[in-house]
């Protein structure tokens, strides 16, 4: 496997980051998880825009233009002979000293990995996931804005560990006020009385690229849509539920905390959204 690393393509065994890189030492950096479908990098421009905004928010200067990053991403796929892949684009603060100060890091590090991913087995797309709510709360927007897709994912990882302890593959994380923020790695949607509802970004959710695609799909399907405060009760009493993310795509949820959602099967709006999403991923984006 070839990895892009700071201006060159190297074998994965030789792709090394310094132990003094602040991305490793402190989680000081930003990243994007991107998908390649049939030679089409889905919504690459939107991913690169979000990366720029995340970097701007933490005052990290990306040493490439958006056009250069686009070509680097595409070339990484070509170097590995891939037409379907998961792409990880990472920008770290770079090498510095052992102190926190980011101004000791004169040059950011940039690397791109393109490989395969299968987050959930096909049976879960066919039959749905049973998920739980975990005790760990989502970091508040005043502490770290959820719109910054940073390398510091320990909050999410703790939620993922708890999900596994409860026998689930994914889990809802609440914010400090007790409202649903997002899942450990996905945004969440419910359907109630024909309306599609998702937590507001201000409640601690990442502004997901797949989430945005679903907003467009809802308009296409003429499904009423709103973002709103959402509690566990709202999910328990929903007619349908599904999760979205670049890794997960659109995956149905059929139970939360032991309560069956709807009839316990993926619902009709969920199936329509998934079908529309799978058509869009082949045409919306950048051909490699």
Active site residues: 149
Which of 215, 216, 219 minimizes the C-alpha distance to 200?
215
CA dist 159 and 201 (Å) reads 19
Q: Helix (H, G, I), strand (E, B), or coil: what is residue 86?
A: strand
Longest C-alpha distance within the chain, in Å? 57
CA dist 180 and 134 (Å) reads 11
CB distance 109 to 95 below 8 Å: yes
Query: Among the residues of 1-117, which ranges form H helices?
Result: 22-26, 44-57, 66-79
Token pair for residue 229?
């405060």
CA dist 223 and 193 (Å) reads 11
């Amino acid at each position: 496997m070839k990895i892009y690393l700071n201006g060159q393509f190297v074998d994965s065994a030789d792709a090394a980051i310094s132990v003094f890189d602040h991305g490793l030492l402190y989680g000081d950096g930003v990243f994007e998880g991107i998908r390649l479908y049939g030679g089409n990098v889905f919504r690459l421009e939107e991913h690169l825009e979000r990366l720029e905004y995340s970097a701007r928010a933490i005052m990290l200067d990306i040493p490439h233009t958006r056009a250069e990053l686009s070509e680097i991403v595409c070339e990484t796929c070509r170097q590995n002979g891939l037409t379907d892949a998961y792409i990880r684009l990472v920008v770290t603060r770079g090498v510095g000293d052992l102190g926190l100060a980011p101004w000791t890091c004169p040059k950011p590090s940039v690397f791109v990995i393109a490989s395969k991913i299968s987050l959930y087995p096909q049976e879960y797309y066919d039959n749905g996931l049973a998920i739980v709510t975990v005790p760990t709360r989502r970091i508040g927007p005043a502490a770290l804005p959820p719109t910054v897709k940073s390398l510091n994912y320990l909050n999410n990882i703790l939620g993922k560990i708890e999900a596994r302890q409860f026998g689930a593959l994914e889990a809802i994380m609440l914010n400090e006020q007790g409202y649903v923020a997002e899942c450990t790695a996905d945004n969440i949607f419910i359907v109630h009385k024909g309306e599609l509802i998702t937590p507001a970004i201000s409640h601690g959710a990442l502004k997901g690229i797949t989430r945005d695609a679903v907003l467009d799909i809802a308009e296409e399907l003429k499904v009423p849509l709103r973002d709103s405060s959402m509690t566990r009760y709202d999910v328990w009493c929903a007619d349908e539920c599904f999760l979205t993310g670049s890794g997960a795509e659109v995956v149905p949820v059929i139970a939360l905390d032991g309560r069956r959602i709807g009839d316990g099967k993926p619902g009709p709006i969920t199936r329509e959204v998934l079908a529309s999403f799978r058509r869009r991923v082949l045409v919306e984006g950048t051909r490699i």
